[in-house]
Every structure is written in C-alpha cells, then in structure tokens.
C-alpha cells in the first residue's frame, strides 16, 4: 500500500527512474521539479549529491533554513510503495504574493508510469491533515485551466473553485477539524 515518507536516500534508484520519466515526458508536472532538476539533475546519480538533496528537502520546513529569495518554508512528502517512488507533494507553509495568485499551498506530481491509478487524489487527501497540523485551515490548490485530470483530483479532495487567474484554476480545500 503506498504511503507518504519523508524524502529518503533509500529510494534513490527509483527516484532517478521517475525523474527520467518526467524529463522524457516534458509535461507540466515537471514544473514542480524544475528547480531541483536545474540544480541537481546532472549529478543526482551521485549518492553524496542525492543525500545532500534529501537533507535539504528535510530541512525546508524550518524557518531558519536558508532559502532562495521568495521561497517559503515547505514540507515535502514522497509517496512510495516499498522502495518505489511514485510521486511527491509539497506543502508550502504560507502564501507569498506569487503563491496566492498562481502557485497555492500544495503542489504535487505523480510519475508518468504511476498515473491514472488514484495516487494523486490519495496524496492530496492524505496531505490535508498534515497541512492542518502545520496550522493551515484551508489550502489553496491550483491547476492549469487545461489540466482536466488535476481538476478532478482537486475536486475529488473537496476543492471548491474560487476563480481563474493567469491560466490557473484556484481551488480552496478545507483541511478538516
């Protein structure tokens, strides 16, 4: 049964396979990983670089962690079954002006070979209690206006459409409690 894990070096090989799938597909979901691919992509295969990447992701929730200008603290969760990386989800702890307009609190990506199996919906639903523990009562989740699959995922998790801005549909999803 798939479940969330903190980023972990034990899924290194499967993670690399998934990144190869994203690059080959070159689709919109890749944008969630674009920054990481630009920074690490050519060297992720090296265990010490991957360990550094995992450590950085696991430090991101901390306020004191250095981060790029405009980036906010975030919690990254990997969705895995055994040692197989299926996808990732990031919960941004607060919204800056860009995230409020287009990015939202939560971004997710499922590797191409694991799509259409319910993983994205399961990931989004399972992330809501995590967001609640962070202190977020209602999360903003966005998707491209043309991404019918992601729209169904968000609506399946209880998303209520607020509006469309800049080619993005903006949904609010209650975190419970």
CATH, residue 104: 3.40.630
User: In this structure, how many other beta carbons lie within 10 angstroms of the beta carbon of residue 31?
Assistant: 14
Chain position carrying tokens 């979901």: 29
Coil, strand or helix: which one is 147? Answer: coil
Residue 29 pLDDT: 47
Whether 176 is covered by a domain: the verdict is no
Whether residue 65 is contained in a domain is answered as yes
Record the tokens describing residue 165, joined without a space. Answer: 């801005």
* Domain region containing 101: 3-135
Q: Look at residue 56 and tell me if it is in a domain.
A: yes
Across the 177 residues of the chain, what is the mean pLDDT of every consecutive 10-residue run?
A: 93 91 66 66 85 94 90 96 93 94 92 92 96 96 93 95 95 90
pLDDT of residue 28: 44
Within a domain: 169: no
Residue 22 in domain: yes
The model carries a pTM of 0.90
The answer as to whether 10 is a domain residue is yes
Please give the pLDDT value at position 26. Answer: 67
* 174 falls within a domain: no
How many residues in total does the chain contain? 177
Q: Do residues 87 and 110 make contact, with C-beta atoms less than 8 angstroms apart?
A: yes
Number of domains in the chain: 1
| Backbone dihedral angles phi then psi of residue 96, each to the nearest 5 degrees | -95, 180
Per the structure block, which two tokens stand in for 161? Answer: 């459409």
């Amino acid at each position: 049964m798939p479940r969330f894990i903190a980023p972990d070096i034990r899924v290194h090989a499967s993670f690399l396979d998934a990144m190869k799938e994203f690059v080959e597909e070159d689709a919109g979901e890749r944008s969630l990983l674009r920054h990481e691919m630009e920074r690490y992509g050519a060297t992720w295969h090296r265990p010490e670089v991957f360990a550094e990447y995992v450590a950085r992701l696991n430090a991101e929730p901390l306020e004191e962690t250095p981060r790029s200008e405009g980036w906010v603290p975030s919690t990254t969760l990997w969705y895995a079954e055994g040692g197989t990386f299926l996808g990732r989800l990031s919960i941004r702890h607060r919204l800056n002006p860009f995230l409020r307009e287009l990015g939202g609190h939560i971004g997710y990506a499922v590797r191409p070979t694991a799509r259409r199996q319910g993983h994205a919906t399961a990931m989004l639903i399972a992330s809501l209690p995590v967001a609640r523990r962070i202190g977020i009562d209602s999360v903003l989740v966005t998707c491209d206006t043309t991404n019918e699959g992601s729209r169904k995922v968000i609506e399946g998790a209880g998303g209520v459409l607020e509006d469309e801005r800049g080619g993005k549909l903006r949904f609010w999803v209650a975190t419970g409690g």
